[in-house]
Amino acid sequence: MAGKGLYFSRGRYALGEAYRRAGLDGNSALLAPAYHCVTMLDPALALGSDVQLYPLSTDLVPIIPALDQLLERSGKPVKVLLATHFFGFVRDFSGLKQWCDRRGIVFVEDCSHTLFAEPYQAMGTGQQGDFVASSPYKFFPSADGGWLYAPNPEKLAGASQSAASWLAELRGIKHCFEMARQARVGPVDIENLDQQLASVAGKLPEAGIDQRRIRPAQSTQYQPDLERADAFRSSRWLINHQSVSAIISKRQANYRRWLQAMEGLPNCHALYPELPEHVVPYMFPLYIDHPMPHFHWLKQLAVPVWRWDEMAVSDCPVAQDYRLHLLHLPCHQSLNDDEMNWLVAALTKALRASSNGVRQ
């Protein structure tokens, strides 16, 4: 693949370098998806930039006509647009790229949810971005690893990364060994699930206070001292020597296992009910009708499930809805059959349980 790439400790710092090279600063603005992880915005906020959130369709595709309205309302000139291939489902961003080119806006393609690294680029990714940022460590068993790619090598000229100390390298290797021995799911005791669910379903928790900010605010997950830190040598070696085919086949199998489990299951639906052959899924996105109590129950059962409930406030109805209703379920290649069976059983029992008196 033509072009040049740079490794970082995390994808968020690869994004930060892309923003810097695109000229993003305190006198300009970033256009970013309304449905987002806070780490997608952190590097722009660290540069002092404004962030404008654009709306998405229900399948998380950018709504291009709405971008012109945001452009007109922006108090500062927009220098960068960020678009994401959510959950590994690759989108055609050619129209978005043309929109950016006509307005002199740098297009940054976010591949943090796709299998995109030096040895392998998921089909259809990295085709449109002036810069392409990814998070290989989400797919490979490495201690860290972000990657920034540019089709034009000149765009990454003069990079100065700081290598980790050998002590930090040893800690990274130790982390890899610990993760290899550690189960991704807790005790997989299906027989006791009914009793466990009954113990957590007896009383609903009190509703908390939503303390999100109207304007995006930088999270504590962004560490400025890591902005130019290179990925560990051990991480780069693992990323370049893992069996990509094994990763793809196992992740796809786990995703299809989730799809099979969703058939006829009440109170939910799969966001993407079909898995194209070329898609390498990052997570299984599941829409649930009743976040309270079902999300609470799943967390109490220690199901490793996530959602982006800390995202910035926007006018996008899809982002407002998905913030609490869209769950991210694991389909990592290291999950064994017993773990997947337990995950499916826990989800199935929780969603089939009575939801009388639920709160939205």
Number of domains in the chain: 2
Same domain (yes/no): 11, 128:
yes
Judge if 145 and 197 occupy the same domain.
no
Question: Does 342 fall in a domain?
Answer: yes
Average pLDDT over residues 8-21: 96
197 and 329 share one domain: yes
Residue 159 banded pLDDT, cuts 50, 70, 90: confident
Average pLDDT estimate for 206-232: 79
- Whole-angstrom distance between the N-terminal and C-terminal Cα of the chain? 47
Please check whether residues 130 and 55 belong to one and the same domain: yes
Sorting pLDDT into bands at 50, 70 and 90, what band is 3?
low
Co-location of 59 and 150 in the same domain: yes
Domain hosting 98: range is 4-156
Kindly state the greatest CA–CA separation across the chain: 61
Beta-bridge partner residues of 131: 108
Q: Are 45 and 51 in contact (CB under 8 A)?
A: yes
Check: CB of residue 202 under 8 Å from CB of residue 195.
no
pLDDT digits (tens, 9 = 90+) for 167-202: 888 888 887 777 666 666 777 788 889 888 988 887
Residues 249 and 324 both lie in one domain? yes
Q: What's the pLDDT score for residue 210? A: 67
- Given a contact cutoff of 8 angstroms between Cβ atoms, the answer to whether 185 and 337 are in contact is no
Mean pLDDT of 286-306: 94
pLDDT in tens, 79-97: 999 999 999 999 999 999 9
Q: Is 173 within a domain?
A: no
What tokens does 274 get?
């079909």
Q: What is the pLDDT of residue 355?
A: 54
State whether 101 and 194 are in the same domain: no
CATH number at residue 261: 3.90.1150.10
Say whether pLDDT at 357 is over 50: no
Among the candidates 99, 130, 156, a domain finishes at: 156
CB 192 within 8 A of CB 302: no
Give the integer Cα–Cα distance in Å for 46 and 40: 11
pLDDT for the residue numbered 163: 87
Q: Residue by residue, what is the 3-state secondary structure of 173-231? A: HHHHHHHHHCCCCCCCCHHHHHHHHHHHCCCCCCCCCCCCCCCCCCCCCCCHHHCCECC
Please state the rounded mean pLDDT for residues 23-52: 96
Using one digit for the tens of pLDDT, what is the confidence trace for 275-292? 999 999 999 999 999 998
Is there a contact between 326 and 285 (Cβ–Cβ < 8 Å)? yes
Please report whether residue 266 resides in a domain.
yes
Do residue 151 and residue 194 come from a single domain?
no
